[in-house]
Amino acid sequence: MTYIDIIDLLGTIAFAISGALAAFSKRLDPFGIVIIAFVTAAGGGTLRDVLIGAEPVSWMKNMNLVYTILICVFITFFLRKQLLKLRRTLFLFDAIGIGLYTVVGIEMGLAAGLHPVICVTLGCITACFGGVIRDILVNEIPVIFRKNIYATACILGGGVYFMLRRLGIDDNWVFTISGFCVIAFRILAVVFKIKLPSPYSRAELEETDS
């Protein structure tokens, strides 16, 4: 197993737990919990593989990812009360997931011989769209479509990734540092309430709220 495979596996674990927690918080049945955990962990990667023409998509040829998701659901079931009591647990696993999956998406783009800008885009898709599907299915507005620093953190992390590569740093360090940067950008944005500027005036926002 390569270092990038380990990162992919850790990202799968983080997003599977994130999806399972979201499903438990909505009191879904066992089938619904498994589906939400699965699409959260595999949705972004599936869309990425479709875009770059990878056949079959990654989780179909790697049953370890499927087993990992099921095990995460099983473990989360027994720990759900403790995890759901921690308000920021879902956010934390989500932040870890986008950091790890951003790196995986970029690597997949590079392996396909794509331009760095497209690679960063693939990193964002891999990291964010599982969460988009999760939020839609549990009837929430996806975080990526709000003012939160979410996809922006992935883009910044992608920039760090290519900057480190140009400096000739070892690949494993590039993966680790850029993934950590995405996680740090996301956490710092939430802690310090940093948001993207709104395109709407105060009057428009007040009219919407009313």
Q: What is the pTM of this model?
A: 0.89
Bridge partners (DSSP) listed for residue 148: 195
The answer to whether the beta carbons of residues 140 and 133 sit under 8 Å apart is no
Listed residue (196, 148, 145, 156) closest to 179, CA to CA: 156
> Which pLDDT value is given to residue 71?
96
> Which pLDDT value is given to residue 203?
63
CA-to-CA separations, 119 to 26, 51, 55, 97, 186, in angstroms, rounded: 34, 12, 18, 18, 20
> Which pLDDT value is given to residue 126?
97
> Which pLDDT value is given to residue 176?
95
> Which pLDDT value is given to residue 96?
93
Bridge partners (DSSP) listed for residue 195: 148
* 3 state DSSP class of 148: strand
Q: Where along the chain do its domains lie?
A: 3-141
Distance in angstroms (rounded) separating the CA atoms of residues 118 and 51:
11
Q: What is the largest CA-CA distance in the chain?
A: 55
Q: What is the pLDDT along the chain (210 residues), one digit of tens a residue?
A: 788 889 999 999 999 999 999 999 899 999 999 999 999 999 999 999 999 999 899 999 989 899 999 999 999 999 888 876 665 677 888 899 999 999 999 999 999 999 999 999 999 999 999 999 999 999 998 888 876 789 999 999 999 999 999 999 999 999 999 999 999 999 999 888 888 777 766 666 566 555
> Which pLDDT value is given to residue 207?
63
Q: What DSSP assignment string belongs to 95-146?
A: HHHHHHHHHHHHHHHHHTT--HHHHHHHHHHHHHHHHHHHHHHTT---GGGS
> Which pLDDT value is given to residue 134?
93
> Which pLDDT value is given to residue 175?
95
